[in-house]
Amino acid sequence: MTLRKDRVRAIGIFKGRAELTDSDLRARADKMIEGVKALPIMQENLLRYEVSFKTERPEGTLASELGLQETPFQVMILIEAASHEKIHETLTDAGYRKLLAGALEHITTKDDFHLFPAEFVTIIDK
């Protein structure tokens, strides 16, 4: 296994506030996404910023079919940049901190938001 040297990641996972429906969560996330896209530092420093939303299949869940525990997390954020320093510079920028504060007030909580830096290996990329 060879870790990629051309980019690194930060991965955030969180669950929405208990009072939010899936529709509410996505609507509030859409507002944050627009804010993220409007920050120049995001365009300058990042190679990728993706948001994934948990979905349910009508007849059970994939986790239960595999004998795994269902996750309470509803959203994953994938951030890629050329270095961890670029990610750090971006996520500690005043503009992003303001967006994060809004997310922690209206979308999730500090206790329900987890973030970690990562190095990765690409197995399949078509």
- Whether residue 96 lies inside any domain: the answer is yes
CA separation (Å) from 79 to 13, 36, 39, 62, 64?
Answer: 11, 12, 15, 25, 28
Using the predicted structure, report yes or no on whether residue 57 has a pLDDT greater than 90. Answer: no
Q: Which distant-in-sequence residues (6+ apart) come within 8 Å of 67 by Cβ?
A: none
Q: How many domains does the chain have?
A: 1
Write out pLDDT tens, residues 5-39: 999 999 999 999 999 999 999 999 999 999 999 99
- Whether residue 124 lies inside any domain: the answer is no
The parent domain of residue 38 ranges over 12-55+71-118
The tokens for 101 are: 């504060």
Q: What does the pLDDT read at residue 40?
A: 98
- Whether residue 5 lies inside any domain: the answer is no
Write out pLDDT tens, residues 87-124: 999 999 999 999 999 999 999 999 999 999 999 999 99
Sheet containing strand 75-81, edge to edge, reads 46-53, 75-81, 8-14, 113-118
* CATH number reported for the structural domain that contains residue 106 in this entry: 3.30.70.100
Q: What does the pLDDT read at residue 60?
A: 65
- Whether residue 61 lies inside any domain: the answer is no
Q: Name the CA radius of gyration of the chain, rounded.
A: 16
- Whether residue 28 lies inside any domain: the answer is yes
In which band, very low, low, confident or very high, does the pLDDT at 59 lie, cut at 50, 70 and 90? Answer: low
